[in-house]
Copies of this chain bind each other. A is one copy, B any other.
Amino acid sequence: MTTEALVEQIHKKKSFLCIGLDTDLEKIPSHLREEEDPIFAFNKAIIDATHHLCVAYKPNIAFYEAYGIKGWQALEKTIRYLNSKHPEIFTIADAKRGDIGNTSTRYAKAFFEDLEFDSITIAPYMGKDSIEPFLAFQNKHTILLALTSNVGAFDFQTKKVNGQELYKEVLETSRTYENAQNLMYVVGATKAAYLSEIRKIIPNSFLLVPGVGAQGGSLEEVCRYGMTNQVGLLINSSRGIIYASKETDFAKAAAESAKRIQVKMLGALDDLNRN
């Protein structure tokens, strides 16, 4: 999917919500466990109930990998369902991969070509030749970890390198990579105050923003400091939406929770269009 098509969807749906499919067998409603594939059954119900309120879904690959081959089958069914039923949805493989050259190309093929995800999250530590193999894929997007929403982000990401924080060095250096136009970045909402600084380095890139809600980040702040005139934001919410209820009404509850966020986004988009 092109960035233009993503922006078009955002305006059409009045939403820049991404729903994280962190599907956990221990947290899904018990009646689903009798299904042949409980993980896919849960995901399908969530997607059917929420697809009109969001523009993206982000399965966290660890949750699937944890169940071995069955998990991968559920992931494959989920992405195939999304791509066939809702091709307008932007899909993110939250894999946080990072390896060199040929190995990166393999990961890229696995996620971009075989599973047909639109994008993948990548860790920057190994540098240029671990990232460029992903960037080589046209109309596919590489979402680089810049400033994450966890406590450990302060261990290295905010340490000063060349007089500025490491995450800024990651932003600046990555802009020089071949096909850098295919880059997006992860920036945690718990660090919204950093967004105006970040926008000085990457004024137009899309940001994937986790940490709104459960982790305490504020949607209003993220929009104030991070929004561009092409929106430039995908706000992710996982647990707050998909586990809004553990009963048989879980899909309805997920839609209500997503709707509450989407209404706020509608307001932010209206403000953007007025300015």
**A residues in contact (CB < 8 Å) with B:** 22, 60, 62-63, 65-66, 68-69, 72-73, 76, 96-101, 103-104, 106-107, 109-110, 114-115, 123-131, 145, 148-157, 159-162, 166, 169-170, 173
Give complex CA distance A158, B135 in Å. 23
Q: Are A125 and B127 in contact (CB under 8 A)?
A: no
A127 contacts B106, CB within 8 Å? no
Given contacts A96-B97, A96-B99, A98-B96, contact A127 B107 (CB under 8 A): no
Tell me which of B66, B100, B151 contacts A107 (CB under 8 A). B66
Among A62, A76, A151, A159, which residue has the most Cβ atoms of chain B within 10 A? A62
Known contacts A68-B114, A101-B150; A157/B125 CB under 8 A: yes
Q: Is the CB of B152 within 8 A of A110?
A: no
User: Could you give 8 example pairs across A and B, Cβ below 8 Å?
Assistant: A69-B69, A124-B155, A125-B125, A125-B156, A125-B157, A127-B153, A129-B151, A156-B166
**Residue of B98, B129, B159 touching A123 (CB-CB under 8 A):** B98
Q: Is the CB of B155 within 8 A of A128?
A: yes
In the bound complex, what is the Cα–Cα distance between A97 and B63 (angstroms)?
13
Residues of B within 8 A of A160 (CB): 161-162
- B125 contacts A150, CB within 8 Å? no
CB distance from A115 to the nearest CB of B (A): 8
Taking CB atoms, residues of chain B closer than 8 Å to A66 are: 106-107, 109-110, 114
B69, B150, B161, B162: the one within 8 Å of A100 (CB): B150
User: What residues on B are CB-neighbors of A115 within 8 Å?
Assistant: 68
Cross-interface CB contact of A156 among B104, B151, B170, cutoff 8 Å: B170
The distance in angstroms between the C-alpha atoms of A127 and B96, with both chains bound, is 14
Having A98-B98, A155-B173, A156-B161, one finds 19 other A-B pairs with CB under 8 Å, namely A62-B103, A62-B104, A63-B103, A66-B106, A72-B72, A96-B97, A96-B98, A123-B125, A125-B125, A126-B148, A126-B152, A127-B151, A127-B154, A127-B155, A128-B151, A128-B152, A129-B150, A131-B152, A156-B166
